Amino acid sequence: MKIKKWTSVFLLFCMSLIACKRQMPYFFTEGEIFHTNFHIKYQHNRELSKEIKACLDSFDLSLNPFNKNSIIYKVNHNEDVEIDDWFAAVFNKAQEVSEITGGIYDVTCAPLINLWGFGYEKIGETNQNAIDSVKQFVGYTKVRLDGKKVIKEDMRLQINASSLAKGYACDVIAELFDYMHICNYMVEIGGEIRAKGYNPDNQAWKIEITKPFDDCSGQKMERLEIVQLKDLSLATSGNYRNFYIKDGKKYAHTINPVTGYPSEENILSATVIYPDCMTADAFATAFMALGREKACEIASHIPEMDYLLVYLDANGNFQEEKSVRMEKYLFKDLSQP
């Protein structure tokens, strides 16, 4: 009888804790990092804006290429600097994805991005001679880590981590929340998302994917799909807002570092779901340059990875190519908010 009594008391105590946790409020924090916005919602017993800002400020000092005090800025300008664990994690993930994609994904292609006018620094006239010249110091095999130092084969080589740093920043905030035993949150930084647990309606977090219209203004918005996300990350990459037209030809910001030219694959946007956001972010970018067939082939060999690729068919209609398991994440009733 005594055992049963204490068992009942313990169960009531656990149920009380669960009930209290559900009654805790959700807080919302927003701001800017890497010249993009972030929006973070979480359930906790107090507001955490200061802790979130402190964490992102430290992260900014590691991987913001526009911050002259950051590690990546100093690496790109050949200053004597030791890298931190965040830089190392991003660098190693980038090298891993480069190997898997045969160099189509390459964070050293910043000079090519600049050459085509999509970076933070335009370095010259775009022609074949200029491309060939820049390609001499582009290539993921031309840079490595030696302890806490970045070793370059050519001092002109630069690293652009924008294709995975925002995703990793989501992971960093998620690690902060996990350390604080926060069970329900959604972290969105520059469109990349990591979500855990449930939203305030006690449902999986609902993430909208928009149709990839050619629209540099970002004003043309139409819902394509809604993804239900729980204990997973989502990243989307597209060429539909960062492009220009010259002499009647469209040039998009996804650069193929092998050819040195903007990718001409027919994917308009690539959405990737994966446990961590840094990996999802990197592969969403890689898939844009790889094209549908190669992207699907690579994804099929990566456990836990799902994707949604959007492209135009021969008649100019939007079409979707998705992994088999992707269907389970899609919210069917698009009339719902």
Q: Which of 192, 193, 174 is nearest to 184 (CA)?
A: 174
What is the pLDDT averaged over residues 57-76? 96
CATH class belonging to 168-329? alpha beta
Q: Are 35 and 66 in contact (CB under 8 A)?
A: yes
- 3-class secondary-structure state, position 31: strand
Residue 71 has pLDDT above 50, yes or no: yes
- pLDDT digits over 256-310, tens only? 777 767 766 678 899 999 999 999 999 999 999 898 999 999 999 999 999 999 9
- pLDDT digits over 201-228, tens only? 999 999 999 888 655 444 556 888 899 9
Given the DSSP bridges, would you call strands 232-238 and 205-210 parallel, antiparallel or unpaired? unpaired
Confidence band, pLDDT 50/70/90 cuts, at residue 335? low
10 Å Cβ neighbour count for 11?
Answer: 10
Round to whole Å and give the CA distance between 57 and 71: 13
The domain segmentation of the chain, as residue ranges, is: 67-152, 168-329
CATH class belonging to 67-152? mainly alpha
pLDDT score at 34: 84
What is the pLDDT averaged over residues 238-257? 54
Does an H or E element contain 56, and which?
helix 49-63
Q: Are 143 and 159 in contact (CB under 8 A)?
A: yes
Contacts of 319 (CB under 8 A, 6+ apart): 310, 311, 312, 313
Q: Do domains 67-152 and 168-329 have the same CATH topology?
A: no
